[in-house]
Structure 1
């Protein structure tokens, strides 16, 4: 369906440019946009390569494992359904760490593995568990220290201080995580109360 929408938009745009007599302007805009897209991708590649490399070094050095052990007590409080030795906690921590450094692409495989591990212990496969909902809230809110995508965009467009976004982004994602966890707990409380009735 999305492909049909895109095709319809392109066809309508071309037909309108022919009817309006602005075909040359449309061609110029298409080539300019293509050039900008290539420059943008090159900027992304540089930043993402650096941070993905840092994540791989942290993983191979055992830093991620140590970080997981260090934060395990906090994760057990956030996910009370899980035991401290549950393998899902390791995947959840890896996902949170990748998101923390703004590596959404690196965080996705860890998130999928975490959901698979949580689903393995789900007594009703068609209904998400409390831990699955909580993890989805955390993953969506994504506490982020280095928003690499935004920094890359700012670098590509010649921002004087592309790292200026770090502190505001961190504060904003702290607030979003707190709101997500609070709403998660509130809705869970109402769900339990409704079930008891």
Structure 2
């Protein structure tokens, strides 16, 4: 399978107050030219809450720029643009319906594997000042996804992006999100619970749905 794109944007952030309580968060990120990627994170992007964010299964977050059009259409009161959803990577042509759990993608010289979706949280609401925006994002399965690192190095804006490997028995990020959100397809959930390339946290979510 030959799928090739280019990196349109890279983003990194530092912990800063966000929301009504001023809790520290790195959700707000700024454009950068380079990300230096290691097994547990990047040199440029910092995490405020390392218990819930970052680590080897959540090194980088990618969000599809096409979703900003949907967000702007349904929430014209907001200002949505590339980099606003806390993502590290933006690539036109890649979205939740066309990338699959376990995919290994090459970004320049760096190799990354899709480990799980990004579960939307209330920080999305705080970022844009729009109530229930996290629910809107989750219901439509346009959450973006996380990567674990296969090969470390530096990635740069306009680096080539190509698919190196796709698992034989897997699903798109969108399908997984719909399964865990709707909680009705126990057969699919049981199958996903055995998907070894899926992050353990999400396999446990699927197992709970399958055994409800």
TM-score (normalizing by structure 1): 0.28
Q: Which structure shows the higher helix fraction?
A: 1
Higher relative contact order (CA 8 A, sep 6+): 2
Q: Which structure shows the higher strand fraction?
A: 2
TM-score (normalizing by structure 2): 0.27
Q: Which has the larger radius of gyration?
A: 1
